[in-house]
Amino acid sequence: MFTTIIVRPIFNLLSLVYAILPGHNFGLAIIIFTIIIRMLMWPLVKKQLNQAKAMRALQPEIKRIKKESKGNKQQESKMLMELYKEREISPFGSIGTLIIQFIILIGLYSGLRKVVYDPKELVTFSYGFIQHIGWMKHIALNPSAFKNTLFGMVNLDKAALSKTGIYWPAMVIVIASAITQFFQGKQLMPSDKNAKKLREILKGAGSGEQADQSEVNAAIGRSTRYFLPVMIFLFTVSYPSALSLYWFMGGLVAFIQQSIVLREDVLEMEEAPGKITSKNVADIVEAEIVEVKDNNQKKKKSSKKSNKKRRK
288 assigned to some structural domain: no
Give the model's pLDDT for residue 17.
95
Exposure string of 36-50, with b = 16+ CB inside 10 Å and e = fewer, is ebbeebeeebbbbbb
Give the model's pLDDT for residue 279.
42
249 assigned to some structural domain: yes
CA trace torsion 284, 290, 291, 295 (10° rounding): 160
Judge whether 83 and 58 are in contact, CB under 8 Å: yes
Give the model's pLDDT for residue 198.
56
Judge whether 12 and 127 are in contact, CB under 8 Å: yes
Residue type, 168: W
Judge whether 281 and 275 are in contact, CB under 8 Å: no
292 assigned to some structural domain: no
Give the model's pLDDT for residue 200.
66
- Dist. CA 232–CA 230, nearest whole Å: 5
- Domain count for the chain, please give it: 1
- Dist. CA 213–CA 227, nearest whole Å: 20
Angle, in degrees to the nearest 10, between helices 42-57 and 241-262: 50
Residue 167 CB neighbour total at 10 angstroms: 17
291 assigned to some structural domain: no
Residues of the chain with pLDDT under 50: 265-269, 272-294, 299-300, 312
pLDDT tens column, 72-115: 778 888 888 888 888 777 766 667 777 887 788 788 778 877 88
40 assigned to some structural domain: yes
Q: Which of 214, 196, 8 is nearest to 112 (CA)?
A: 8
Give the DSSP H or E segment for 193.
none
Give the model's pLDDT for residue 274.
46
Which range of residues forms the domain containing residue 10? 2-280
Q: In the beta sheet, which residues pair with residue 166?
A: 161
309 assigned to some structural domain: no
286 assigned to some structural domain: no
pTM of the model: 0.71
134 assigned to some structural domain: yes
